[in-house]
Structure 1
Amino acid sequence: MRAGTGTGTDLRLDRLSVVTDGKSLVHGLSLDVPAGQVVGLVGPNGSGKSTALRCVYRALRPTSGTVWLGDQDLTRLPLRQSARTIAAMTQDGGVDFDFTVEEVVALGRAPHLRGNQALGRRERELCERAMDRLDIRHLADRGVLTLSGGERQRVLLARALVQEPEFLVLDEPTNHLDVRHQVGLLSLLRGSGLTVLVVLHDLNLAAAACDRLGVLSQGRLVASGAPADVLTAELVADVFGVAASVVPHPLTGGPQLLYSLDSRP
C-alpha cells in the first residue's frame, strides 16, 4: 500500500483559536507538523487537544487562525480534495449501522470514487492489505457492531489508511487496544511515511511513538519539541499535577516516566 502522496507537504497550525459560547477552548495555537513526522498532542482532559484536531479534519471551523497544508489554506480547498488529502480517526467516529468490516474499510475509498462506482481491482487490493496490516482480515465478514472496542479501532484505522492520505489525524487511537496492538499501531504510524498528528494520553507511548510533542494546557501551547526536551519532571508536575521521575528507556534512550502513587508535586 502506498504510504502517502510523496509530496512532502508540511501541516501547520497558525495562531488557531476556537471560542464557543463565550469560552475559549483553544487560544492562539501555533504548531508545525513537518512532512513525514509523527507529532503528538498531549495535555490534561479539557486542554483543547481534540478541538484542535477537529479544525484539521474540518469538523470545526476555527474562530480565528489558519490550518495550512504547505502554502494552502485548508478552508479554501474543496471538501472532496481535503478528504483525499487528510484522513481522520476520531473518538466519535464509530459506525451506527451493522456494515461488515470489509464494507467499512472500503468506505475509505469514497473520496476517490464517483457516485456508486464499484471498487476496482486496485481498490480491493488496498482494502485487503490494510486489513492485513491491522490484523483484521479474519474479521472481514463480521458485522462491525459485533466487534470489541479494540477491534473496531483497528477497523477504523484501516479505513483511514485505505484513503491513501498524505496527512493522518488520530484522536486517541490506542483507546481500547491491548498492549500488543497499541505497540503495533504506533509502530505502523512511525513506519507509514505519512505526516501524522495524534492525540495521546499515555505520555510514555507518546514519547516512544512521536518525533515531536506539543503540550496543551487550558487551550494554550505551553511546550513543544522533541520528547526528551519536553517531558521533564517539572512540566509533568506543572501541567498534569503528578510527581514523576524521568528515566532513559533501557533500549532506545528516550524518556520514560515513572509515577509515584504516594506523592504529589
Structure 2
Amino acid sequence: MDLVLDGLSVVTDGEHLLRDLSLKVGSGQVVGLVGPNGSGKSTALRCVYRALRPSSGTVRVGADDLSRLPVRRSAQLVAAMTQEGAVDLDFTVEEVVALGRTPHLRGNQALSSREREVCERVMGLLDIGHLAHRGVLTLSGGERQRVLLARALVQEPEVLVLDEPTNHLDVRHQIELLSLLRGYGLTVLVVLHDLNLAAAACDRIGVLSQGRLVAAGTPAEVITPELVDRVFGVKASLVAHPLTGAPQLLYSLTPPA
C-alpha cells in the first residue's frame, strides 16, 4: 500500500517542528528521510505511527486516513521501530518478538502455531534465533536493535517506519538489515543519518531542514555536494560506487580555525 504524508505540520509551544510536509512512499518502496539534527525527521515518523497528532494535514495508508481508524486497525497496518523502543524489563528475546503479534490478538489469546512460525522465521532472518531464550537486558546494543526490528516485522504490517535502525549495528549487520528492507516487499519510511547508506539502500530520499522538505527524489537527484553543503554545512565530493553506481560522498575534513 502507498503511504502518503499530505501537508503535515506540527506546532508545539509556538514552534514549528514540521511545516507543510508532503511526501509519498509508493507501495513496496524504501524512502529515506535525512537531514540535520532537529530538522523534523523523527517528528514526521511519530505522526505516521500515531504517537503524535499533527496540527494539520493527514497521513494515509492506501485510501485510509490513519487518524480515523481504530488504534488496533492502524497498528495492523503500520509497525514502527523507534529510538524510544527500549525494553526495560528482562523479557526473553522470543517474548519481546512475540509482542509484535499483539494487534492481531484479542485479550490473552495465545499465539497460534502459524504465529509462532512467523516469529521463528523472522528471528532467523535477523540472525537472532540463537538468542531466543536470552534475556534482552543481557544483549548488546546491536542485538537489541535486531530484536526490536523483528518485533516490528512479525506484526506483518503494510507499512514499516524506522528511526535510525542502523544505530549500534556493526557494518555487516547494517548492510544485512538494509538489504532485508529492500527485499521484504513492505512500504518503508526510514530515517538515516548516514547519507551513503541512504543512497545505497533507498529508492527515493527526502531531505528535511528546519521542518521543511527541501528536496525529494532519487539518490542521484538528491545526494549532491551542493545540497550537502547547503543543508549540512559540509564540503563533500561525489563519486559513483564502482559496483552499483549509487552516489557516494567523500567528506572534506578541515581543521577548526
Taking structure 1 as the reference length, the TM-score comes to 0.95
Secondary structure, counterpart of 1:170 in structure 2? strand
Tell me, yes or no, if the aligned pair for 1:15 and 1:66 is still in contact at 8 Å: yes
Q: CA offsets, 1:169-222, max 9 Å, x none?
A: 000000000000000000000000000000000000000000000000000000
Secondary structure, counterpart of 2:127 in structure 1? coil
Q: CA offsets, 1:209-261, max 9 Å, x none?
A: 00000000000000000000001110000000000001111000110000011
The amino acid that maps onto 2:229 is A
What is the CA distance between 1:69 and its match in structure 2?
Answer: 1.2
Which segments of 5 or more consecutive residues in structure 2 lack a partner in the other structure? none
Q: Which residue of 2 aligns with 1:43?
A: 35
CA distance in 1, matches of 2:238, 2:36: 18
The structure 2 residue matched to 1:235, chosen from 227, 231, 245, is 227
Runs of 4+ in 1 over 2 A off after TM superposition: none
Q: Which residue of 2 aligns with 1:103?
A: 95
Does 2:6 correspond to 1:14? Answer: yes
CA distance in 2, matches of 1:160, 1:28: 28
The structure 2 residue matched to 1:74, chosen from 38, 62, 66, is 66
The amino acid that maps onto 2:185 is G
Secondary structure, counterpart of 1:173 in structure 2? coil
CA distance in 2, matches of 1:197, 1:89: 11
Secondary structure, counterpart of 1:18 in structure 2? strand
What is the CA distance between 1:262 and its match in structure 2?
Answer: 2.0
CA distance in 2, matches of 1:235, 1:221: 12
Does 2:171 correspond to 1:141? Answer: no
Taking structure 2 as the reference length, the TM-score comes to 0.98
Does 2:133 correspond to 1:151? Answer: no
CA distance in 2, matches of 1:148, 1:19: 37
Structure 1 segment 48-197 matched on structure 2, within 5 A: 48-197=40-189
Tell me, yes or no, if the aligned pair for 1:170 and 1:197 is still in contact at 8 Å: yes
Q: Which residue of 1 aligns with 2:15?
A: 23
CA distance in 1, matches of 2:76, 2:7: 25
Secondary structure, counterpart of 1:163 in structure 2? coil
Tell me, yes or no, if the aligned pair for 1:107 and 1:159 is still in contact at 8 Å: yes
Corresponding residue pairs, total: 256
CA distance in 2, matches of 1:108, 1:88: 10
* Identity score, percent: 79
Q: CA offsets, 1:28-73, max 9 Å, x none?
A: 0000100000000000000000000000000000000111112221
The amino acid that maps onto 1:137 is G
CA distance in 2, matches of 1:175, 1:94: 13
Which segments of 5 or more consecutive residues in structure 1 lack a partner in the other structure? 1-8
Tell me, yes or no, if the aligned pair for 1:243 and 1:263 is still in contact at 8 Å: no
